[in-house]
Chain A
Amino acid sequence: MTKLLALLAIFAALFCAPLVIGSEFWLNTVLLALYAALLGQAWNILGGYGGQFSFGHALFFGVGAYSVAVLQVELGLSAWLGLVVGGALAAVVAVIVGFLTARYGLRGSYFALVTLAFAEVFRILSNSVSWTGAGEGILIPLDQRLAALQFPDTASAYWALWAITLACFLAVWRLERSRFGARLMAVRDNEDAAAAIGVDAMQVKLGAMALSGLFMGLAGVFYAQKFLYLDPAIAFGPEKSVEALLVPIVGGIGTLFGPLLGAFALHGVAEIARETMGDAPGLNMIVYGTILVCMVLFLPRGLAGLGKHVRRAFRA
């Protein structure tokens, strides 16, 4: 219960960000951090709670993003319909990938490689067919009305993102105290032992894939509607997949707050590196990289694990 209160308090504070932050630049930074938290939490459902490390989560992001773009540009349909279709289609694609990998017993690094391969296949396909705009990308015509699901200013985009992210975090909060979540973590920790006490590993994995894919797809829809432009590298490129997995790994894998901590820590570090090393081009990336390596080396359970250490030290 305290966890839910903490979550709601944090999101209440995040809701106020556009009212408090005057600078467009800093609001945009917070927006990007929140957006990273959404990607990270979506990945965390499958990777953190399900123990299946996907290296191709861009696949679901891209399916969501292209769905909403193509539906508007090619078919002239509403972006709101695109929101529903994008989320649903991403979930369906995730279930198909999940079924194929589970059917052939691919776990660990094989699972990671196959997900990466799927994302790459989609990147190449979207680069080749005409209705996705191929290599030139796809441009969503500007129409800043609520009916077109576009955002007249950063604040309204921020609040839309806030709502999706809150839904995602609440879903994970619920997951942690549900039968489905208990089964998912059991399969993660020991698939045979879980099966022996009646857990259908396939069903549980597909459920996690669907949920993870859904929120990744919604993140894709948000991206498309915010930036109004997509190309195959943005939608399906490995950078997106890496961002989605880096955030929870830094923040604390398989924890509710990990992705939030990770997202703000990574964006904070990136900003500080840029501010302080501004003059020498590339130096900020070196500092950023070094800090990242140190985090992974010294905090294998992420920033959320650090909290546990401190609490244990105080109790002892």
Chain B
Amino acid sequence: MKNIKSFIERHKLQVAIFGIFLTLWLIFYIVNPYAFSNPYTYTALLSVTPFTILPALGLTYIIIATEVDLSFSSIMAVGAMTFAYIWQDTGSALLGVIALLVVGLIAGAFNGILIAKLKVPSLIGTIGTMFFWRGIVLVVTGGYGMSLHKIENTYVQKIFVGTFLGIPSQFIWTVLITIVFWLILNRHKFGAYVYYIGDNRLAAKMVGINTERTLLYIFSLEGMIAAFAGFLVALSLGTVWPALGDIYMLKSIAAVVIGGTPLTGGVGTIFGTFMGGLMLDLIETGILAIGVSGFWIKVVDGVVIVIALIAQALIREGELAKIRRKKEALAKE
């Protein structure tokens, strides 16, 4: 019991977001028990939520390091397009996957160089690259979509967007990748540096952490995972279209922030981001499932985001008051 209490105490934010998630689910369940006891509702949820969560994972690292990336939504389209072309021209899906990962990495590294080496503010810099990559997609495709229907029922489709024991493959991939991101952030030296750069960049530099290289790596990582997410989107819908990825830009950022990673950086969790993404997609699935107009999605999104942020603000305020008390007591000794 004491262990549970101290666990909650240490992970207040994550417990809060989990609580909000359960509450939402309960509301949906009460309103439409039929839809929410139907496994198809959950299959639908788990097959779309990876597209929000995956880019949000890399974004969590970036936001913890007090930077931001807006270009990942365009890099999603670049990744999907790269796959489509390589696969069409060579017939090799494996080559296509490798190519899209490499292109994503390069696009991300380009952001990294801009921000870490050339000291361009990340907000502005990645708005620039967001337009640039979207423009490249439009120029290359001529604004037309590309069909991937020939890939249906191939092993590639089954591996990435099929089902395994009834669970959508893309969700299994997402869970695995989430675990890797969690491990790196919490148990690896690299993750520690990401935190330190966000928490006190000057200190990180002074103790000898290579802040530029770390930033370059996290932007490259985000480029790669965004390209992969874009590929999954295209694969699951059977088409690459020029605006692919657009809707995920604010959604993934929202997932990170709802998950308890503040835009001021320094702290944040992968679990929170995962739950944040899952929650935003639960709202979408839930509202469609209970049969209300889809226009309500944004309204509920807005309400939930605000509630989550208020909860975080209250928790942090409580924390700050506690810190002040402790500090004063220590100083007086």
Question: Does A associate with B in a complex?
Answer: no
